[in-house]
């Protein structure tokens, strides 16, 4: 499963090792791939990301290649199998990709089509391939889920844990919420990595799904899905209306500088496919689909070379004692991976690691690619 996701999102964007403070995507010129074709015919199974990888060295900048604004990026499904894409290398403002119409004209808007379902517009990336790596966890400003339902007992009261197929009893479950409810467990505080170590929110971990059998002051429910053991005290919220998220990979629209503050499964080292929490959210300019680079290094070490510093007098303790200050070296930062943001909150976001050169750890730096 991950290999297809990597092919769509990462294969076209091999990790570049570069300086931490390189030119931002909004100002650096677009770089075409060395073998970028002049035209390309869209085929079934293509994605916008993979197509852009044929033309660009940095496919996360594909909205710029199309000349789309932010509103257009949110709804990009206007390219169809059979469309012929034309690359204009000398367009004003940089290379541009457009769709050629009949007779060589360029179609600037999608218009209205009457076609079979087989000719549906291609997606930005294959959402189905990304789905296994996502999480429904919720981050709230205060601990717990205010106003949520609560599991108060199980049918077999002597048991501590429950799982799919077990009957449970809950309070605060109202008919207005529908018959299907998500199970959450109030979890850890998400704390900023750097001082003053502010609490950025409280994670409520998605545990499973329950269905109501009978509403009442104490409602009867059955667990229909459980990712982990279900406990008395776990919380319940109605399943929200289904929304179709269009995961559109793109570089952030503003500079981002933050840290990885948590691993979703509490791993000490992580690689591709792992989920992480970062200390930047919507108020910092991070949105769903943002591609961010991961950096390591940059620490200060003692210079191992012979110390040539001038000895200094230890003034306040002994007027006759001298010491030689240590020489320090600043190690360079190195880009070691890419991440893809799929869920955002005010001050934190969840991301999946796409490609990693070395193991990723909590505390690693994140920036725009």
pLDDT of residue 240: 86
What gap in Å lies between CA 181 and CA 145, rounded to an integer? Answer: 14
**pLDDT at residue 248 in the model:** 75
Domain boundary among 75, 92, 125: 125
Q: Consecutive 10-residue runs of the chain (369 residues): their mean pLDDT?
A: 40 33 55 92 84 85 76 61 90 86 44 43 69 83 91 90 96 96 94 91 94 97 95 94 71 92 88 92 93 89 84 68 80 90 94 90 93
Number of domains in the chain: 3
Question: Could you tell me the CA-to-CA distances from 81 to 50, 115, 125, 345 in Å, in that order?
Answer: 14, 11, 15, 35
Q: Are residues 337 and 290 in the same domain?
A: yes
Structural domain boundaries enclosing 279? 257-367
Single out the residue in 58, 93, 125 at which a domain terminates. Answer: 125
271 and 349 together in one domain:
yes
**279 and 361 assigned to the same domain:** yes
How far are the Cα atoms of 73, 190, 260 from residue 283, in angstroms, in the given order?
A: 19, 16, 17
Q: Which two tokens stand for residue 224?
A: 């229909």
pLDDT at 133: 72
Q: Are residues 342 and 271 in the same domain?
A: yes
Q: Is residue 2 part of a domain?
A: no
- Spatial distance between the Cα atoms of 125 and 6, rounded to a whole number of angstroms: 10
- Residues 114 and 158 grouped into a single domain: no
Residues 164, 120 share a domain:
no
313 in a structural domain: yes
Distance from C-alpha of 47 to C-alpha of 295, rounded to nearest angstrom = 28
Last residue of a domain, one of 99, 125, 151: 125
Rounded to two decimals, the pTM is 0.72
Asked if the structure places residue 317 within a domain, the reply is yes
d(CA 70, CA 303): 48
The pLDDT assigned to 364 comes to 95
Instruction: With respect to residue 1, please indicate whether it lies within any of the assigned structural domains.
Output: no
In sequence order, the 6+-apart residues with CB closer than 8 A to the CB of 7 are 50
Report the pLDDT value the prediction gives residue 235, as an integer from 0 to 100: 96
> Do 55 and 95 meet the contact criterion of CB atoms below 8 Å apart?
yes
Residue 324 within a domain: yes
User: Do residue 140 and residue 60 come from a single domain?
Assistant: no
Residue 6: inside a domain: no
Q: Can you give the pLDDT at residue 4?
A: 42
366 close to 292: Cβ distance less than 8 angstroms: yes
């Amino acid at each position: 499963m991950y290999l297809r996701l990597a092919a769509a999102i990462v294969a076209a964007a091999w990790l570049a090792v570069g300086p931490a403070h390189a030119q931002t995507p909004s100002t650096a010129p677009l770089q075409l791939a060395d073998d970028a074709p002049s035209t390309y015919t869209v085929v079934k199974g293509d994605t916008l990301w993979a197509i852009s990888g044929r033309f660009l060295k940095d496919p996360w900048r594909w909205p710029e290649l199309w000349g789309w604004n932010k509103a257009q990026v949110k709804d990009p499904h206007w390219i169809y199998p059979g469309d012929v894409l034309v690359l204009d290398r000398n367009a004003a403002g940089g290379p541009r990709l457009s769709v050629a119409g009949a007779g060589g004209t360029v179609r600037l808007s999608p218009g209205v089509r009457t076609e079979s379902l087989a000719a549906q517009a291609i997606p930005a990336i294959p959402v189905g391939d990304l789905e296994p790596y996502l999480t429904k966890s919720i981050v709230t400003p205060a601990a717990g889920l205010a106003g949520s339902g609560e599991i108060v007992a199980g049918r077999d009261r002597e048991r501590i844990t429950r799982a799919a197929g077990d009957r449970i009893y809950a309070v605060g479950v109202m008919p207005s919420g529908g018959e299907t409810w998500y199970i959450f467990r109030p979890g850890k505080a998400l704390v900023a990595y750097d001082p003053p170590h502010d609490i950025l929110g409280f994670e409520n971990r998605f545990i499973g799904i329950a269905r109501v059998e009978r509403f009442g002051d104490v409602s009867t429910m059955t667990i229909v899905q459980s990712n982990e053991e279900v406990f008395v005290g776990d919380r319940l919220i109605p399943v929200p209306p289904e929304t179709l998220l269009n995961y559109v990979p793109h570089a952030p629209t503003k500079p981002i500088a933050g840290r990885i503050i948590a691993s979703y499964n509490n791993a000490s080292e992580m690689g591709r496919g792992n989920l992480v929490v970062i200390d930047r959210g919507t108020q910092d300019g991070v949105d769903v689909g943002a591609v961010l680079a991961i950096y390591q290094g940059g620490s200060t070490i003692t210079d191992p070379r012979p110390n040539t510093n001038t000895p200094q007098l230890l003034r306040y303790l002994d007027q006759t004692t001298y010491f030689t200050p240590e020489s320090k070296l600043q190690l360079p930062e190195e880009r070691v991976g890419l991440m893809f943001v799929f869920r955002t909150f005010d001050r934190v976001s969840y991301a999946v690691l796409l490609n990693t050169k070395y193991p990723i750890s909590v505390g690693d730096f994140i920036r725009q690619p």
